[in-house]
Amino acid sequence: MPFEIIDGIKTHFHLFGTLEKDLPVVIFIHGAGQSSHCWKYQFRLSEKLDNYNFIFIDLPGHGKSDSTGFKTIKEYSDFIHSFIKKMEIKEYVLVGHSMGGRITQVSLVDYPQNVIGSVLVGTGPRIRVTRHAIELARKSFKDFADMAAENSFSKSSPLELKAEFKELLLKSNPETAANDLAACNEFDTTDILLKIKVPTYIITGEEEKLAPIKNSLRLKNLIDNSRMEIIKGAGHFVMLEKPDEFNKSVINFLNIL
């Protein structure tokens, strides 16, 4: 579990094996109030694809990374670019979930050099977050965690998965999570999506509540060279709820880049 100093911030990330400089890197970016742990079922993708490196990053203020996080999607996008430069990554694919998908969209436009593809998961041009949710995160984080656990998964998802999600969320910084939610609500990428030119795969869950399917359809309609998949029996955290289906989709996409 290596660390790197990025823009003065001690940043944690998962890298399995060594970073092969001649191979492209798939960088996984988590969502609001989350950490790289949300990709736990993707950690071993390197065992199935040996022509890519895989990195799972904890954004500033999340997981094991220092700082209290940022207040805008743009700041997170700039940070990802700094990470890519520091790690001397030549070619890469961005995989972003929820807020991470918003960060990915901005990064694809602001830093198009050397990116060869993207996967947008449970996200959209704008993710509407109610004022109530943001205030609940600031003032009563346990109640917020209860609400988030209820809304983030499909009806058929195991109770154990929801319990683990809630437990990990309660370990996060409430102020950071609230700032993440506000950043998602205040930023709209609709006007920049036509500028995205790399192959893009859009994945959403059939029972998605937090970023309804219409958001993914909006992405599909505005991003050239994009495809979309709806995974049955999954909600917002499709990569945790249906990891086999999700991993198969990601592998198939990476194989055609």
Among candidate residues 12, 2, 135, the one with its CA nearest the CA of residue 64: 12
Kindly list the structural domains of the chain, giving each domain's residue range(s) and its CATH number in brackets, ordered by start: 3-255 (3.40.50.1820)
Q: What is this structure's pTM?
A: 0.97
Q: How many CB atoms lie within 10 A of CB 202?
A: 24
Q: Are 201 and 253 in contact (CB under 8 A)?
A: yes
- What's the rounded Cα separation, in Å, for the pair 54 and 76? 19
Q: By three-state DSSP, how is residue 189 classified?
A: coil
Burial tier of 163 (Cβ tally within 10 Å: 0-12, 13-18, 19+): exposed
pLDDT in tens, 167-201: 999 999 999 999 999 999 988 999 999 999 999 99
pLDDT in tens, 85-136: 999 999 999 999 999 999 999 999 999 999 999 999 999 998 889 999 999 9
CA 190 to chain centre: 18
- What's the rounded Cα separation, in Å, for the pair 223 and 196? 6
If pLDDT is split at 50, 70 and 90, which confidence band does 17 have?
Answer: confident
- Strand bridging mode 53-57 / 9-15: antiparallel
If pLDDT is split at 50, 70 and 90, which confidence band does 1 have?
Answer: low
Tracing tokens 């929820």 back to the chain, one arrives at 98
* Count of all residues that appear for the chain in the document: 257
pLDDT in tens, 130-165: 999 999 999 999 999 999 999 999 999 999 999 999
Q: Nearest 10 degrees: CA dihedral of 160, 165, 166, 167?
A: 90
For residue 128, what pLDDT is reported?
Answer: 86
- Strand bridging mode 115-121 / 3-6: unpaired
Among candidate residues 100, 79, 1, the one with its CA nearest the CA of residue 43: 1
Q: Are 240 and 41 in contact (CB under 8 A)?
A: yes
Q: How far is CA 193 from CA 13, 109, 133, 219, in A?
A: 28, 8, 27, 7
* 212 contact partners, CB below 8 Å, separation of at least 6: none
Euclidean distance between the first and final Cα of the chain, in Å?
A: 28
- What's the rounded Cα separation, in Å, for the pair 75 and 98? 16
